[in-house]
Structure 1
């Protein structure tokens, strides 16, 4: 393992020194537009579940699988991303993910119910690829990636908040049924593809020096730093998906009007966008990011502690602070993948491993919390469990935030450039 200052430089496809301000602005816009697409295909399902179940007759469990399946795909398909990038080029792989996402969204228009699950699986696989490759792309194209990672991470939250807030109102205003409402997000995917292709470039990338078997990705976990980054991302994701699944129910059981639960969850995502914008920008200016880890943990303690002790009073504060914690924590985790990697390919490989493990673990969070709620008859112990998870999360984050970089698993660790 080398210190961060000793990491070998990797030239971007177009050197930032030779890129005009207009070209840089267009590239950042393309990155933001790709990020905006990474959550609506998943989040837009939840507000429409009532209409969907009424039309299809699906049980609650089968309907819930439509929101769980993509998260499982985030983990299962994450290791595929660096292999794909090594074979066809980073830009081409991201373009392919956008086209695959559009196909998955469009597939939901097909009437057999099985098409809903097929579309969710295809969309989840597409998002998994972009989730892994976009931080690697940012690392390659920007000498100081912190600010751009902030915009990227904030855009993930904005996309999620928009999908939760506007899917139903837009459908009602345009007279769309639930299928057309889900498919309406196809427009955003097409726009992202249309901008990405000419701005980022594709079809000109050199192939890798040889086939990428993926062995290098998992061998990274032999290094403690990689395990710490992976653990921090995974436990942070457990927090987010657990609260996202159960916050409205928790608040309703505490006496908060049921109609306000969704709005408060949306507020959490908006606050998360603010945290996601700030954390990477600060992290990029630091050699050691441990103060940010402490700040994120402190915000989690305040938000979860408030939901534990006084969920019906000061709710806006607890939800907003939790949102800052999850937005800042997730963005910091993505930024640590970039900062702790010696090359863009190492960043892609570490992202694939960390997100594979992290999302698979995170998908169990809502199930565990639901089971613990059923066992205890309340939300005290589920929230206490989330607070307890902060201890190993803090340990992992403390190690992941030190000034070091992962050693590449081979001497040919470079993503092909055009």
Structure 2
């Protein structure tokens, strides 16, 4: 058998189902460390003497890593292979969470940068594994991947405040490293099982025999431009809302930290329904454009609802949560399905993520600064509403 297995051979490997389980455990770690911070940001700010804008910077560091490190992460995946890249990603997440909780501002910034680098590698490597090993089920597996990320986010959003009340914010944040430890163990076992399905001693790489072109072609290049705009709006809104939603709920509804964190949790948890609902709708031949328009409309109700009827916050949060998970799935399903090769999918995904996360890295800080400047949340929410409007317009064209 040749040193590099074909896609068909990999798909038939006995470790394939276990590989999917391992992939989803990895996905649990690709957002959870970020969403564990906002529920206790007031405690962290007090302990480290941070202003709201500085706290926004701390939240923005991982997203800035996504923007700056996605191109080298894509090169790493191409050179080292997706399996080793995922392993390195989880190690980075684990180490970053430990350093971030050391109790000083320099350690918090350094640890956040390390976990941001780890997540960046995972952001690039996991879609490559999906496009390569689950080609015939890209929508379903992408949906499951998105759902797992949001499940991890919901878990940390809900449980970090109670853990902080018991052990303090440092142990509460560092304790989520247990998810990374579990992912490391299962991913190592799964990739060993996949490697054992072939007699080849060489590592599995993302390229088939003879290599493949990363050329996008004109139609795909146009799609990538549109998805850059759309993902910039998606990611900016997601990270801005994730960072400040508990504080918005505290200000608008007078909730305490625990209650605000609990009410914000459906924004992450309901994304599971959106992430899994998109591939289900597509499997029943619902037009992709119709699915995308519904996701955009549901996303828009959160800033609009918090401006006009904050008393119904739970409804707006649940709808927007499902929408942000579903919209993420639509964007990366489009890339996986329409890219002419795995190398082209890796390149397109890297470009979209680089542009989108570059914009998103500014969003939490900008929202915090706007809140400080205006003394309220009206202007920041209007900004989120406008951003989502641009995103919706780009998605309408991309899915036409």
TM over 0.5: yes
- Alignment match of 2:94 (pick from 102, 106, 115): 102
Matches within 5 A, 1:390-401: 390-401=388-399
Partner of 2:269: 270
Q: Which moved more, 1:115-124 or 1:95-104?
A: 95-104
Q: Structure 2 vs 1, CA of residues 45 and 392 (structure 1 numbering), >3 Å: closer, same or farther?
A: closer
**Which structure 1 segments of 5+ residues have no match?**
1-9, 403-418
Task: Verify the 8 A CA contact 1:145 1:284 in the aligned structure 2.
Answer: no
CA distance in 1, matches of 2:47, 2:300: 42
1:290 deviates by: 0.6
Is 2:35 the partner of 1:12?
no
Q: Structure 2 vs 1, CA of residues 75 and 318 (structure 1 numbering), >3 Å: closer, same or farther?
A: same
CA distance in 2, matches of 1:249, 1:294: 29
Is 2:137 the partner of 1:144?
yes
- Alignment match of 2:34 (pick from 11, 28, 42): 42
CA distance in 2, matches of 1:388, 1:274: 25
1:283 deviates by: 4.1
CA distance in 2, matches of 1:33, 1:235: 27
What secondary structure sits across from 2:7 in the alignment?
coil
Once the two structures are superposed, residues 357-414 of structure 1 have per-residue CA deviations (whole angstroms, 9 ceiling, x without a partner) of 1111112223444444455554444333333334432232123225xxxxxxxxxxxx
What secondary structure sits across from 1:230 in the alignment?
helix
Q: Structure 2 vs 1, CA of residues 109 and 319 (structure 1 numbering), >3 Å: closer, same or farther?
A: closer
For this pair of structures, how many residues does the alignment match?
383
Task: Verify the 8 A CA contact 2:32 2:153 in the aligned structure 1.
Answer: yes
1:84 deviates by: 0.6
Q: More helix by proportion, 1 or 2?
A: 2
> Aligned Cα RMSD in Å?
3.0
Q: Structure 2 vs 1, CA of residues 181 and 254 (structure 1 numbering), >3 Å: closer, same or farther?
A: closer
Once the two structures are superposed, residues 25-63 of structure 1 have per-residue CA deviations (whole angstroms, 9 ceiling, x without a partner) of 312210110000112222222334344344444454444
Task: Verify the 8 A CA contact 1:248 1:258 in the aligned structure 2.
Answer: no
CA distance in 1, matches of 2:51, 2:366: 20
Task: Verify the 8 A CA contact 2:147 2:273 in the aligned structure 1.
Answer: yes
Normalised by the size of structure 2, how large is the TM-score?
0.85
1:344 deviates by: 1.8
**Which structure 2 segments of 5+ residues have no match?**
196-201
Matches within 5 A, 1:279-358: 279-283=278-282, 289-312=288-311, 314-358=312-356
